[in-house]
């Protein structure tokens, strides 16, 4: 079994939160369900400096949820809680959002949904050649530089 | 050529844009040249371009801010006194290892701002004195572009043709043609067709800012270094210089440095050449105190570290309804608009700026704020918002001339040190009043351009924090030893066998990216030093 940085409870909460941050789209499930939670857990293992803001944001979400756990709130209330945490501690919350985006948009299936069929190399892109005739007006301009 | 007991004829500190060019030039004359570089060779496997998570490299291993990247070879910088953070790479090839390769030249008026506009100081030479070295440098590194720009003096044919003209260029062109403004495909330090050895032409993959894995980008480790090494230059990596040593007469004798095992060593040379960039060079000179130079080497004038210039940058992005695919093609170099480059006092400021019409980034970087730091909202609007920006955005950098002011400076931090205990630099900077007025005016022009081009949304970052790419002026050139550190050949006024050749030499900043000028200046200084070595080292 792989050791996680986050506890099972924290992982479960993070999945729900990520599903609100980046909801399902077309055939793509929401970010947490798609696997962004475990990717973020791996980031926390590699970059310990991320642990504090992320854990702070998760704690704040639990606290703001009140007596009813976040998992049992309806969708509207979940978003309300997240907005409250975002306003109260924008720094930690924005790190949570950033790491969720990091985990989500580095997935080939998500990239494919945006029409990306692979990383930039080795294929690169073929772009049309430069067309010098487009410079006709500018070529006719007077010299724009001062000699000195 | 030097006394046999010396380790080298010339010791160069730093292997970046300027150090590499000088090492090549000096070794061509048969001088024994050693370069001490704190970084390492970037390993081809370090590049992330073939991985789906390549965009993460911008936040981690290839982050441009050394404080964020935190390689073992980096040194910390105290940025608390500046809204603009200095950016750099500490590796063989220096900050050209991951950069944008935008390669414009300064204009003749840029060297004569005191004479023409009554501000700052003139450089100790003219554009025309430097022109042969611009040409030499271009022929060494390989530039893509097109001669014939009415915005600049005529120039030699470019080594390879301009890069592609795609949908993003069409979008910009709509605006430029409507407004009747100047534009030209910009010179780029990257090759669009075969040029040089072991290099492939650019295949328009996109993220040059995290390095170029195929050698298309004309970075110093693929241009000058292979040639310099073939000419016998000794390049010692993982060698962090602590200070430049001097004798009783106040002449430079070499350097003390820490090797890759952390052992403190000394290297002696007839001449020392500083090429550690606009932050690293003043840092080392200030740390090199002696009875003769209690305020730091060559700093009895107090000018070392002062007059720091960045190019304060605003980013303006235009979001278009049509697909412009700004993530394809080299991120930086597309077109330049120099309509507002020369002084027109009716605008409310002196000197001018250029609009650097550039491209954009992939989906992750767009989600996290694109080039501008405006993250895409989370929640139910997320996907539509992301899809409206990704592949639909082009970004213009507003790059303006920063005037030199003595209060903007690099000093030594009293507490912060690097891993070897060497004092770290502290940077203090604020944008002057002329700059503020120019920023406001130039952002309005960039907006006007995007409006004319039909952008449906315009996003602005009025002063980009992560824009300290260009580190200039901290050991400035000049004829007056009270107001400058070095003369027009890079020779220190106070220490005749000490030379400075990197970005810190700039007397004024112009409003274009500096590296073609940094390398041309380095070649000119090295040429003079090579011809006069005996007299200088004697
Ligand atoms: C992200 C980014 C994008 C850029 N884009 C462009 C662009 O499009 N166009 C352009 O013109 N410019 C651009 N630049 C700037 C360009 O890279 C620099 O202007 C240029 O590299 C500066 O050359 P230099 O020789 O002054 O210093 P550098 O190239 O920075 O080299 C300095 C070297 O000195 C070494 N050094 C420092 N201190 C020590 C020490 N104590 N001991 C040993 N070695 C030391 C460093 O490790 C480094 O290798 C960009 C920079 C960055 C970071
Ligand atoms: S766009 Fe061209 S120059 Fe830039 S990284 Fe890709 S291949 Fe290299």
Neighbours of B36 (CB within 10 A): 26
Neighbours of A128 (CB within 10 A): 11
Q: Is B158 in the pocket of ligand 1 (CB under 6 A)?
A: no
Which range marks the domain in which residue A79 is found? 8-116
Decide if B202 contacts B485 (C-beta within 8 A).
no
Q: Per residue in A25-79, pLDDT tens? A: 999 999 999 999 999 999 999 999 999 999 999 999 999 999 999 999 999 999 9
What was the pLDDT predicted at B45? 85
- Compute the distance between CA of residue B259 and CA of residue B273 in angstroms, rounded to an integer: 19
Residue B108 alpha carbon to ligand 2 centre in Å:
31
Interface of A with B in 2-21 (CB under 8 A): 20-21
Residue B236 alpha carbon to ligand 1 centre in Å:
18
- Compute the distance between CA of residue B97 and CA of residue B90 in angstroms, rounded to an integer: 9
Assign B182 to helix, strand or coil. coil
- Compute the distance between CA of residue B43 and CA of residue B39 in angstroms, rounded to an integer: 12
Decide if B471 contacts B17 (C-beta within 8 A).
no
Q: Is B330 in the pocket of ligand 2 (CB under 6 A)?
A: yes
Could you tell me if residue A57 is inside a domain?
yes
Q: Is B206 in the pocket of ligand 2 (CB under 6 A)?
A: yes
Among candidates A121, A103, A119, which has minimal Cα distance to B56?
A: A103
Give the distance from residue B201's alpha carbon to the nearest chain A alpha carbon, in angstroms: 11
User: Does the predicted model carry a pTM greater than 0.80?
Assistant: yes
What was the pLDDT predicted at B16? 98
What was the pLDDT predicted at B4? 61
Could you tell me if residue B204 is inside a domain?
yes
Q: What DSSP designation does B1 have?
A: -
Q: What is the DSSP string of B371-431?
A: TTT-PPPPSTTHHHHHHHHTTTEEEEEEEEPPPP-TTSEEEEEEEEE-TTSPEEEEEE---
Among candidates B399, B435, B397, B428, which has minimal Cα distance to B119?
A: B435
Alpha helices in B160-296 (DSSP H): 167-179, 224-230, 277-287
Which range marks the domain in which residue B163 is found? 8-41+88-537
What was the pLDDT predicted at A3? 86
Could you tell me if residue B61 is inside a domain?
no
Could you tell me if residue A122 is inside a domain?
no
- Compute the distance between CA of residue A40 and CA of residue A44 in angstroms, rounded to an integer: 6
B351 touches chain A (CB under 8 A): no
Which ligand is closest in space to the CA of residue B333? 1
Inter-chain touch A146–B116, beta carbons under 8 Å: yes
- Compute the distance between CA of residue B461 and CA of residue B315 in angstroms, rounded to an integer: 5
Dihedral angle, C-alpha B268, B274, B275, B276, nearest 10 °? 90
Could you tell me if residue B25 is inside a domain?
yes
B31: burial class by Cβ within 10 Å (0-12, 13-18, 19+)? Answer: buried
Instruction: Return the H-helix or E-strand segment holding B355.
Output: strand B353-358
List the CATH number of the domain containing B279: 3.50.50.60
Interface of A with B in 44-73 (CB under 8 A): 47
Could you tell me if residue A148 is inside a domain?
no
Integer Rg of chain A from CA = 23
Could you tell me if residue B47 is inside a domain?
no
Which ligand is closest in space to the CA of residue B97? 1
- B444, two tokens: 């309005």
Interface of B with A in 35-54 (CB under 8 A): 47, 49-54
Assign B292 to helix, strand or coil. coil
Among candidates B248, B237, B232, B275, which has minimal Cα distance to B9?
A: B232
The structural domain count of chain B equals 1
Decide if B271 contacts B534 (C-beta within 8 A).
no
Chain B residues with beta carbon closer than 8 angstroms to that of A44: none
Q: Per residue in A99-121, pLDDT tens? A: 999 999 999 999 999 999 999 99
- Compute the distance between CA of residue A108 and CA of residue A119 in angstroms, rounded to an integer: 9
Residue B328 alpha carbon to ligand 2 centre in Å:
9
What was the pLDDT predicted at B2? 54
Could you tell me if residue A60 is inside a domain?
yes
Could you tell me if residue A32 is inside a domain?
yes
- A69, two tokens: 């756990």
Pocket test for ligand 1, best of B73, B99, B163 (most atoms within 8 A of CB): B99
In chain A, which residue's Cα lies nearest the Cα of B69?
A47
Among candidates B356, B66, B350, which has minimal Cα distance to B187?
A: B356
The structural domain count of chain A equals 1
Residue B63 alpha carbon to ligand 2 centre in Å:
17
Interface of A with B in 100-129 (CB under 8 A): 100-102, 104-108, 110-111, 114-116, 118-129
H helix and E strand count, chain B: 11, 16
Angle ∠(B264,B268,B272) on CA atoms, nearest 5: 105
User: Atom 2 in ligand 2: which residue has the minimum CA distance?
Assistant: B202
Could you tell me if residue B256 is inside a domain?
yes
What percent helix, strand, coil does chain A show, rounded to 5?
Answer: 65, 0, 35
Angle ∠(B333,B180,B191) on CA atoms, nearest 5: 20
What was the pLDDT predicted at A97? 98
Neighbours of B521 (CB within 10 A): 30
- Compute the distance between CA of residue B299 and CA of residue B305 in angstroms, rounded to an integer: 9
Instruction: Going from the first residue of chain B to its last (538 residues), give the mean pLDDT of each consecutive group of 10, the final group possibly shorter.
Output: 81 98 98 98 92 94 91 96 97 96 97 98 98 98 97 96 90 97 96 96 95 96 98 98 97 98 98 98 98 97 98 94 94 91 97 94 92 89 96 95 97 97 98 96 98 96 93 98 98 98 98 98 98 96
- B491, two tokens: 């020779």
Pocket test for ligand 2, best of B216, B333, B359 (most atoms within 8 A of CB): B216
Could you tell me if residue A100 is inside a domain?
yes
Dihedral angle, C-alpha B213, B218, B219, B224, nearest 10 °? 120
Could you tell me if residue B50 is inside a domain?
no
Q: Is B403 in the pocket of ligand 2 (CB under 6 A)?
A: no
Q: Is B424 in the pocket of ligand 2 (CB under 6 A)?
A: no
Inter-chain touch A128–B59, beta carbons under 8 Å: no
Chain A residues with beta carbon closer than 8 angstroms to that of B154: none
Angle ∠(A24,B318,B331) on CA atoms, nearest 5: 85
Separation in Å, CA B10 to CA B159, B253, B277, B372:
31, 10, 18, 43
Could you tell me if residue A128 is inside a domain?
no
Decide if B296 contacts B288 (C-beta within 8 A).
yes
Instruction: For residue A120, give the ligand 2 atom closest to its CA.
Output: 6
Among candidates B230, B318, B263, B259, which has minimal Cα distance to B24?
A: B230
Could you tell me if residue B305 is inside a domain?
yes
């Amino acid at each position: 079994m792989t050791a996680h940085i986050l506890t099972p409870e924290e992982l479960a909460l993070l999945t729900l939160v990520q599903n609100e941050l980046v909801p399902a789209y077309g055939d793509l499930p929401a970010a947490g369900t798609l696997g962004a939670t475990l990717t973020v857990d791996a980031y926390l293992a590699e970059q310990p400096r991320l642990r504090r803001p992320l854990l702070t944001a998760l704690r704040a979400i639990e606290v703001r949820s009140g007596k009813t756990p976040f998992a049992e709130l309806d969708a509207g209330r979940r978003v309300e809680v997240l907005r409250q945490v975002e306003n109260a501690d924008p720094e930690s919350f924005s790190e949570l959002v950033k790491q969720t985006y990091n985990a989500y948009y580095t997935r080939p299936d998500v990239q494919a949904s945006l029409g990306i069929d692979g990383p930039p190399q080795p294929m690169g892109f073929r772009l049309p050649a430069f067309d010098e005739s487009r410079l006709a007006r500018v070529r006719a301009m007077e010299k724009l530089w001062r000699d000195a | 050529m030097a006394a046999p007991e010396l380790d080298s004829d010339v010791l160069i500190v730093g292997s970046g844009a300027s150090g590499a060019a000088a090492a090549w030039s000096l070794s061509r004359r048969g001088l024994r040249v050693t370069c001490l570089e704190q970084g390492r060779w970037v390993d081809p496997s370090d590049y992330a371009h073939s991985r789906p998570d390549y965009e993460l490299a911008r936040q981690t291993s290839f982050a441009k801010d050394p404080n964020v990247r935190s390689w073992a070879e980096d040194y910390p910088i105290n940025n608390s006194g500046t809204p603009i953070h200095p950016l750099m790479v500490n590796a063989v090839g220096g900050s050209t290892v991951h950069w944008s390769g935008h390669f414009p030249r300064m204009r003749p008026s840029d060297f004569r701002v005191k004479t023409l506009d009554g501000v700052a100081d003139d450089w100790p030479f003219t554009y025309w004195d430097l022109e042969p070295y611009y040409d030499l440098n271009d022929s060494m590194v390989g530039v893509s572009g097109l001669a014939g720009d009415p915005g600049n003096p005529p120039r030699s044919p470019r080594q390879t043709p301009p890069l592609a003209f795609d949908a993003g260029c069409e979008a910009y062109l709509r605006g430029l043609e409507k407004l009747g403004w100047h534009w030209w495909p910009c010179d780029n330090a990257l090759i669009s067709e075969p040029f040089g050895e072991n290099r492939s032409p650019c295949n328009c993959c996109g993220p040059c800012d995290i390095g170029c894995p195929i050698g298309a980008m004309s970075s110093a480790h693929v241009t000058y270094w292979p040639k310099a090494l073939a000419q016998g230059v000794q390049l010692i990596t993982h060698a962090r210089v602590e200070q430049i040593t001097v004798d009783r007469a106040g002449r430079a004798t070499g350097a003390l440095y820490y090797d890759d095992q952390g052992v403190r060593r000394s290297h002696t040379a007839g001449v020392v050449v500083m090429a550690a960039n606009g932050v690293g060079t003043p840092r080392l000179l200030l740390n090199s105190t002696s009875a003769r130079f209690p305020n730091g080497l060559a700093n009895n004038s107090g000018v070392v570290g002062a007059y720091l210039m960045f190019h304060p940058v605003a980013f303006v992005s235009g979001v278009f309804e049509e697909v412009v695919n700004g993530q394809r093609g080299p991120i930086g170099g597309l077109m330049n608009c120099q309509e507002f480059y020369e002084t027109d006092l009716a605008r409310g400021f002196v000197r001018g700026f250029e609009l650097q019409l550039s491209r954009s980034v992939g989906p992750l970087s767009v989600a996290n704020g694109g080039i501008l730091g405006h993250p895409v909202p989370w929640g139910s609007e997320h996907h539509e918002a992301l899809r409206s920006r990704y592949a639909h955005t082009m970004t213009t950098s507003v790059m303006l001339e920063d005037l030199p002011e003595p209060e903007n400076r690099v000093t030594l931090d009293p507490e912060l040190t690097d891993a070897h205990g060497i004092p770290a630099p502290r940077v203090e900077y604020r944008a002057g009043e002329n700059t503020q007025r120019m920023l406001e005016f130039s952002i309005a022009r960039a907006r006007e351009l995007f409006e004319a081009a039909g952008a449906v949304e315009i996003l602005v970052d009025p002063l980009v924090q992560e824009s300290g790419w260009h580190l200039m002026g901290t050991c400035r050139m000049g004829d007056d030893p009270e107001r400058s550190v070095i003369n027009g050949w890079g020779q220190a006024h106070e220490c005749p066998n000490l030379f400075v050749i990197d970005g810190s030499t700039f007397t004024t900043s112009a409003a274009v990216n500096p590296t073609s000028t940094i390398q041309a200046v380095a070649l000119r200084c090295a040429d003079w030093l090579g011809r006069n070595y005996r007299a200088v080292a004697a």
